Amino acid sequence: GQQDGLGQSITIAVVGLLMVVYVRIGGMRATTWVQIIKFGLLIAGAVLMSVWVLGKYGFNFSDVLGAAVDQSPEGSKILSPMGQYGKSTTTKLDFISLSIALVLGTAALPHVLMRFYTVPSAKVTRRSVSSAVGMIGLFYLCSLVLGFGAAALVGPEKILASPGKANSAVPLLAYELGGTLLLGFISAVAFATILAVVAGLTISASAAIAHDVYAHAMKKGDVSVEKELQVARITSVVIGVVAIAGSILAKNQNVAFLVALAFAVAASANLPTILYSLFWKNFTTRGAVWSIYGGLAISIGLIIFSPVVSGSPTSLFPDAHFAWFPLANPGLVSVPIAFLLGWLGSVTEKGADAAKFAEMEVRGLTGAGAE
């Protein structure tokens, strides 16, 4: 009810303020340690609960699926492919758009790319990426077990009746399996995950604004390190306040769905420039600017005028109706346009430096000179 909504808003505000405080005080070092601890807890919790769920059904995943079907009002339809995205041409296109965003956006998330600057050498970077890919794959497999396990042991009705709805599936499953003790552990993992991800994004954004926008674009490099650091700290507070306000506004949205939108923005704004810089020798500064700002503007613009924001009962503003873009995820449109803008900006400008591209290609593909 209204009281639950107020409690959620207060919780979001407290978590956001805590994130701002420790980013200002601890910076990159604090964020790194939180992410390290969070990673260990997250993998441990996911594996523990997955094994627990499978153990309840004799380690037979088919039995887990069968129990989920028995609990669901939809019956066996929950196992059918394209149950959500196969209803019409629009939903099928939405599925393609979502897939593009998730696959391409992963390679362009700024707070993930930032981690490459925290390793001592290119060799360690490659080993780190290989390990991370393996762990991510393990977690995705666990999420499959946890999702159907929650449907089987908790039930869709109980999940949808909870304050967080679909976002509460895993905590409710934890309570069903291990009572308050396991629920407390999983809640702590979720809390650490939120802090780690949001802090990483905040540091990435504040550093970009302080270093790229303020120090170089506005001051033309004539600024002290102390002043740049001060601007970064102020920016982190502003970003934190904006993030808190946005989170409160979107508190009833499915977290996984919101993540997909972030992936679409990353794929549109960052990926074309990354790929062009690595593999196209004629890529220019104008192409980078057009690609980054064009992809960012188009992806955000399409989200604003999509059913995510208005025009449906699950929108941020359900009573408003200004949506004209039919897809819930903009990736299908915004990513190709961003690539097109990068190409168009480059072919209309002369000045690509072949020597610099050759040097960067060697460094980027081999790691030479990075140690």
Does residue 230 share a domain with residue 291? Answer: no
Does residue 258 share a domain with residue 222? Answer: no
Does residue 211 share a domain with residue 125? Answer: yes
Q: What one-letter code names the amino acid at 337?
A: I
Please give the Cα distance from 49 to 189 (Å, whole number): 13
Number of structural domains in the chain: 2
Note down the domain range covering 321: 253-365
Q: Residue 371 falls within a domain, yes or no? A: no
Q: Residue-wise over 212-243: b if at least 16 C-beta within 10 A, else e?
A: eebbeeeeeeebeeeebeebbbebbbebbeeb
pLDDT (0 to 100) of residue 366 = 66
pLDDT (0 to 100) of residue 296 = 92
Q: How confident is the model at residue 48 (pLDDT cuts 50, 70, 90)?
A: very high
Predicted confidence (pLDDT) per residue in 139-165, tens digit: 889 999 999 999 999 888 888 888 777
**Average pLDDT rounded to a whole number, residues 342-367:** 77
Q: Is 367 helix (H, G, I), strand (E, B) or coil?
A: coil
Predicted confidence (pLDDT) per residue in 310-342, tens digit: 878 777 787 888 888 888 889 999 999 999 999
Determine contact, residues 286/348, Cβ cutoff 8 Å.
yes
Does residue 292 share a domain with residue 217? Answer: no
Average pLDDT, the chain: 83
Does residue 202 share a domain with residue 100? Answer: yes
Does residue 192 share a domain with residue 337? Answer: no
Chosen domain end from 235, 250, 265 = 250
Does residue 64 share a domain with residue 7? Answer: yes
Does residue 177 share a domain with residue 71? Answer: yes
**Average pLDDT rounded to a whole number, residues 182-204:** 82
Does residue 257 share a domain with residue 139? Answer: no
Q: Residue-wise over 84-123: b if at least 16 C-beta within 10 A, else e?
A: ebeeeeeeebbbebbebbbebbeebbbbbebbeeeeeebe
Burial class from Cβ neighbours inside 10 Å (0-12, 13-18, 19+) for residue 270 reads buried
pLDDT score of 50 more than 90: yes
Q: Residue-wise over 152-186: b if at least 16 C-beta within 10 A, else e?
A: bbbbbeebeeeebebbbbbbbbbbbbbeeebbebb
Enter the DSSP assignment of 214: I
pLDDT (0 to 100) of residue 367 = 61
**Average pLDDT rounded to a whole number, residues 199-203:** 78
Chosen domain end from 232, 250, 268 = 250
pLDDT score of 197 more than 80: no
Predicted confidence (pLDDT) per residue in 76-110, tens digit: 777 777 667 777 888 888 889 988 988 888 888 87
Q: Residue 83 falls within a domain, yes or no? A: yes
Does residue 30 share a domain with residue 19? Answer: yes
